[in-house]
Amino acid sequence: MSSPDRRLVLLGALALGACGFTPVYGPAGQGGLLLNAVALPEPENRNEYDFNMRFEERMGRGTGPYALTRALRVNETGLGSLSDGQTTRYQLTGRAQYVLTLAGGSEPLISGHTDAFTGYSAAGSSVSQQASSRDAHSRLMVLLADQVIDRLLIDADQLPR
């Protein structure tokens, strides 16, 4: 096996530094402002609970200066079917619209939306179908929460210090 040439690694690091790359959690990065600083609204359903759980898992439970409002939408579409018309596969498409504000404020600091999809098999017993559906919804909320977090971290340089 060949090991990478150290010169290439050093040149790569210099190129990243020259283009203005700043690690989001580094000393000059703004991402640290969001850790344990974003309050979420209380969940009203299972999807919102799963979204909040993943968001707090990555960003911490926020009690700080920011508040995130989010609207989650999920559509379910049957994809595969048997000759008798029974659907065997479903696709879930989801959208998360989000707005980050100062807690108690209404002026948007960062806003946007993100989309994701997943699917599940509906073959088997009704219990396994319900478990597959619940798991797919949970996976979709994890995807959406991760994408919202990534977008917030990318746009964190817009936040006031």
CA distances from 70 to 41, 50, 54, 97, 129 (A): 8, 13, 14, 5, 28
Q: Which of 93, 34, 44 is nearest to 68 (CA)?
A: 34
Highest mean pLDDT of the ranges 3-7, 61-65, 151-155: 151-155
CATH number for the domain spanning 50: value is: 3.30.160.150
Q: What is the token pair recorded at 66?
A: 């920011």
pLDDT the model gives residue 46: 97
- Confirm whether 68 is domain-assigned: yes
- Give the chain's domain count: 1
List all residues 6 or more positions away from 49 whose beta carbon is below 8 Å from its beta carbon: 43
- Checking if the pLDDT of 134 tops 80, the result is yes
For residue 16, is it within any domain? no
How far apart are the C-alpha atoms of 103 and 40, rounded to whole Å?
10
pLDDT tens digit sequence for 46-69:
999 999 999 999 999 888 799 999
> C-alpha 126: how far from its chain's center?
30
